[in-house]
Amino acid sequence: MYHFVLKSVLFASILVGSVTLSAQTKSVYKKVIRSDFQTYFEQCHVAGAIAIYNNNEGTWVLSDTMNTQVPTLPASTFKIINMLIALETKTIKDENSIVRWPGSTDTLKYGYRPNIYKDISVKEAFALSAGWAFIEIAKKIDRSVYREFLNACNYGNVDLSESDADFWNFGPMGISPINQVEFLKRLYDGDLPFSKRNMAIVKTVMISENNDDYTIRSKTGWTMANHINTGWWVGYVERKGNVYFFATRLIQDRKFNRPDFSRCRKEITLKALRDLKILP
């Protein structure tokens, strides 16, 4: 089981040296620690971490320097790279490809959601986070292919030893908030081993909010593996000629399960983005 550092902290917004991204990026960036963001996690009675990257300024804003680097299961945020791999391997033609309902799913593991128990397009499965659909897609892709792409994308720890098809929700695979942001930046930059067409399709499917002021491309995630709620919201904001990448992760022992866990993923992130004047 993963261990997380939880402690009460005083307000801090301090420029402290630099943070090095993955060896593949070979670049050094400034970082700002906003330990006051921990208040938002405490209000939701969860442990948590958030990583934000300002593209124009080359600056990281982190809730802490430890938990933002700890890898955990990506849950449904894996749908971003899963869709890219499915497109690149021609497992699916495009976002309108239909995934046939297999007839049943494990409601104990995934909850009871009858609205998604039907033949469904990949685009709708992404928007509704219909996990069964991406499991069916994953069954058609060999693990060696996943390993090749994950290594090429520097995505997580590439531990695919989980025997079930759903290795992003269960098992030892993990990715950190900082690594999530690194991956999203490479997607935005087009610096991934996928065709421009396929990256453009996924970027379009990721749009979760679009107005005259800004666009948010994102994906949520939630797994209950090992009696732990692991929740995510990752993505990026395009606004006023700049891009801000974010990855927020919540951790909660299911003994203390609360009904606001799902809502808190976005609420905490939006509060942090507004504190930074990224969103109005």
- pLDDT tens per residue, range 166-186: 999 999 999 999 999 999 999
CA–CA separation, 96 vs 100, rounded Å? 12
Q: Centre a 10 Å sphere on the Cβ of residue 228 and count the other Cβ atoms it contains.
A: 18
Q: Is residue 6 part of a domain?
A: no
Q: Is residue 4 part of a domain?
A: no
What are 4-10's contacts with CB under 8 Å, separation 24+?
4/47, 4/67, 4/70, 4/251, 5/64, 5/66, 5/67, 6/47, 8/38, 8/42, 9/35, 9/36, 9/38, 10/35, 10/36
Contact status, residue 152 vs residue 193, Cβ threshold 8 Å: yes
Q: Centre a 10 Å sphere on the Cβ of residue 66 and count the other Cβ atoms it contains.
A: 11
Q: Could you list the beta-strand ranges (E) of the chain.
A: 13-20, 28-34, 47-54, 59-62, 98-99, 120-121, 207-210, 215-223, 228-239, 242-253
Of 13-17, 70-74, 76-80, 203-207, which range is least confident? Answer: 13-17
Give the type of residue at 166.
Answer: D
CA–CA separation, 234 vs 216, rounded Å? 10
Q: Is residue 45 part of a domain?
A: yes
Q: Is residue 1 part of a domain?
A: no
Q: How far is C-alpha 43 from the geometric centre of its chain's CA atoms?
A: 22
pLDDT at 26 exceeding the cut of 80? no
b (16+ CB within 10 A) / e for 5-34? eeeeeeeeeeeeeebebeeeeeeeeebbbb
Annotated catalytic residue within 35, 63, 76, 176: 76
76 catalytic, yes or no?
A: yes
Domain count, the chain: 1
Q: Which residues pair with 30 in a beta bridge?
A: 18, 59
Q: Is residue 240 part of a domain?
A: yes
Q: Is residue 2 part of a domain?
A: no
Q: Is residue 252 part of a domain?
A: yes
CATH code for position 236: 3.40.710.10
211-263 per-position pLDDT tens digit: 999 999 999 999 999 999 999 999 999 999 999 999 999 999 999 999 999 99
- Average pLDDT (11-26) is 39
Angle, CA 115 vertex, CA 264 and CA 81 arms, to 5°: 60
Contact status, residue 232 vs residue 221, Cβ threshold 8 Å: yes
Q: Is residue 8 part of a domain?
A: no
Q: Which residues pair with 230 in a beta bridge?
A: 223, 251
In which domain, by residue range, is 190 found? 13-275
95-147 per-position pLDDT tens digit: 999 999 999 999 888 889 999 999 999 999 999 999 999 999 999 999 999 99
Q: What is the pLDDT of residue 111?
A: 86
Q: Strands 28-34, 59-62: parallel, antiparallel or unpaired by DSSP?
A: parallel
- Give the pTM: 0.91
DSSP state of 100: P
Q: Find the distance separating the first CA and the last CA of the chain, reported in whole Å.
A: 38
CA–CA separation, 27 vs 55, rounded Å? 13
